[in-house]
Amino acid sequence: MAASASASASASASASTVTSSSVSEEELTLTVKWSGKEYKVRVCADDSVGELKRRICELTTVLPKRQKLLYPKLIATRLADDSVLLSQLPLKSSLKMTMIGTIEDDLLVEQGDSPEVIDDFNLGNEEAVEVQIKDKDVNKQKLRRRIDQYKIELKNPCREGKKLLVLDIDYTLFDHRSTAENPLELMRPYLHEFLTAAYAEYDIMIWSATSIKWVELKMGQLGVLSNPNYKITALLDHLAMITVQSDSRGIFDCKPLGLIWAQFPEFYSSKNTIMFDDLRRNFVMNPQNGLIIKPFRKAHANRDNDQELVKLTQYLLAIAELDDLSTLNHNHWERFTEDNVKRPRHA
């Protein structure tokens, strides 16, 4: 069976070969051969299979979910499990890992063909879990590596004196699992009004757990990148995320805002940044800066009564005058808005 798989991989134009040139306790330097070229990629023993796939994707553009990894004498299911740590695999420099995958030209297939993600951080003592994760040295090291590896490309200049709003896409701005003839039918109500109002006080970055091409495509279809009333500062994708581990929730990806703060320290920090996401787990590295937004699902049935962005516009403008947003408990954002509406604001 192994010989058959190897022969099939050799015959495939979309096959890649990964060899380990050096293996240490801390770092693995992999040589990736794909489409007639060789690439060097660094991963660490405490990284997961999912992180390995992310790095391979960065080099080959084959999306992680399209990759199939094969390794001699290793059950294929071990490499199909993105949560498995590389330190748990018997990698040897003398053996080769084969990746079979296909580049996606039709990005729209991403829409709705991935499994539903359950935000299990809504259960139990999530605050204690978040603190534990963000303070672990291993996760701080992963963040430093990601800062070195991923460079944010600005679409528009950062503006001095503005705070930063970081937005998710799926279920936050867009219902990505429903079907429609026109993507605008799946756009969250009041999106452009919300972005226009927020832009007066905030620079805006979009961060999605998908590929950058899909982010550009979807934001372009929704008119977000061409609206004359606001400008998007930058787009970030899944390659900017890091993999972390929780004793109770296992291994998963998250969006560390420290990546943005490290690359633009003169503009942004924990004091002036807020992130909207429908999954709490996405901001476990910076829980004091995250706000859980109500997911926008079943767009056709809910678009007439979804007022989330209207309410959040009011909240963003109410806190814009504060010096330090990280002192707020964004879990109580609706209560904060109601209190400020009743209390007159100082000139």
45-76 pLDDT per residue, tens: 778 888 888 888 878 888 888 888 877 777 77
Percent of the chain scored above 90 by pLDDT?
A: 46
What is the topology classification, in CATH, of domain 109-342?
Rossmann fold (3.40.50)
The first and second tokens of residue 334, run together, are 């609706």
Instruction: Please check the confidence at residue 5 and state whether its pLDDT lies above 60.
Output: no
In whole angstroms, how large is the CA radius of gyration of the chain? Answer: 21
The secondary structure of residue 48, as a DSSP letter, is: B
282-324 pLDDT per residue, tens: 999 999 999 999 999 999 999 899 999 999 999 999 999 999 9
Instruction: Please check the confidence at residue 4 and state whether its pLDDT lies above 50.
Output: no
Q: Which CATH architecture has domain 2-103?
A: Roll (3.10)
Please name which of 244, 213, 296, 234 lies closest in space to residue 51, comparing C-alpha atoms: 244
For the chain, what are the domain ranges? 2-103, 109-342
Say which residue the tokens 């809504």 belong to. Answer: 122
Q: What confidence category does residue 150 fall into, taking pLDDT thresholds of 50, 70 and 90? A: very high
Strand order in the sheet with 202-207: 234-236, 202-207, 163-167, 273-277, 290-292
pLDDT of res. 17: 55
Q: Which segment of 98-112, 223-237, 244-258 scores lowest on mean pLDDT?
A: 98-112
Question: Please, are residues 84 and 43 in contact by the beta-carbon 8 Å criterion?
Answer: no
pLDDT of res. 132: 80
pTM above 0.85, yes or no: no
Question: Please, are residues 232 and 155 in contact by the beta-carbon 8 Å criterion?
Answer: yes
Phi/psi of residue 144, each to 5°? Answer: -60, -40
